């Protein structure tokens, strides 16, 4: 076969090759979706990875990869099994995905993943790391109240009580039904010896959640402390 004939054959074969490639990617997408739906996360990632090898910016495949880690991490949490590795992997994938697709749903899931990793860092008293992750989480979704609340705790750990107080007050001002903010703000005031402020915070929280046992206990304790101070006067 001459060189010209070979080139012509290759040229004529291109549509068939591209058709086969598209068909194969379609199969991989379907298999990836089905595996994800069934909770077969590793198999789902194998199929999404084959598509990403050809096109790292494929938004659907990148979303599928992110969701496989996100869903696996949530399942591990429900089963009370270690999940931080899966959450960290979800964060890595969402960081890439956000460069391709930054819709609110994706930003919200990215923020949740960052919050989960930050919670692990906070439990290990890596306050600076937790604070940085939470800043990133809030940049993705400024209405992630769990991230605001955890940031307050991280700032307390860093010895920045005024900034922590601002976080809790930010939550109460924008989402007054988020009870943990009243709890933590009251705890902060109590730790600084401000029993009256603590009583105010816990009482406001108890008005929102009248069955909250923790708040009932601490409202009563703060009230007793204030009575003791009145007696001492």
- The answer, yes or no, to whether residue 14 has pLDDT greater than 90, is no
Give me the domain span that covers residue 182. Answer: 176-233
Mean pLDDT across 165-181: 97
Q: CA 152, CA 185: separation in Å to the nearest integer?
A: 9
Q: CA 59, CA 164: separation in Å to the nearest integer?
A: 37
Number of H helices, E strands in the chain: 11, 0
Is there a domain that residue 93 lies in? no
pLDDT class of 23 with cuts at 50, 70, 90: very low
Q: What is the residue-averaged pLDDT of the chain?
A: 90
User: Is residue 198 a contact partner of residue 187, using CB atoms and an 8 Å limit?
Assistant: yes
User: How many independent structural domains does the chain possess?
Assistant: 1
Tell me the CATH number at 180. 1.25.40.10
Is there a domain that residue 161 lies in? no
With a CB cutoff of 8 Å and minimum separation 6, the contacts of 23 are none
- The answer, yes or no, to whether residue 9 has pLDDT greater than 90, is no
pLDDT at residue 15, rounded to an integer = 47
């Amino acid at each position: 076969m001459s060189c010209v004939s070979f080139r012509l054959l290759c040229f004529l074969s291109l549509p068939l090759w591209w058709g086969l490639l598209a068909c194969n990617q379609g199969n991989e997408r379907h298999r990836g979706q089905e595996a994800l739906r069934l909770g077969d996360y590793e198999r789902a990632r194998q199929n999404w990875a084959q598509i990403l090898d050809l096109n790292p910016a494929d938004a659907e495949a990148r979303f599928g990869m992110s969701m496989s880690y996100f869903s696996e991490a949530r399942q591990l949490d429900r089963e009370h099994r270690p999940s931080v590795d899966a959450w960290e992997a979800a964060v890595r994938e969402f960081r890439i995905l956000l460069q391709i697709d930054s819709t609110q749903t994706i930003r919200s899931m990215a923020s949740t993943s960052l919050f989960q990793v930050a919670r692990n860092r906070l439990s290990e008293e890596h306050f600076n790391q937790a604070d940085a992750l939470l800043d990133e989480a809030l940049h993705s979704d400024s209405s992630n109240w769990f991230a605001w609340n955890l940031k307050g705790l991280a700032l307390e750990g860093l010895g920045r009580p005024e900034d922590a107080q601002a976080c809790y007050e930010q939550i109460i001002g924008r989402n007054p039904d988020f009870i943990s903010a009243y709890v933590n703000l009251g705890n902060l005031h109590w730790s600084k010896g401000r029993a009256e402020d603590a009583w105010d915070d816990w009482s406001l929280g108890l008005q929102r959640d009248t069955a909250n046992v923790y708040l009932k206990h601490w409202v009563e304790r703060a009230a007793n402390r204030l009575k003791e101070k009145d007696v001492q006067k």
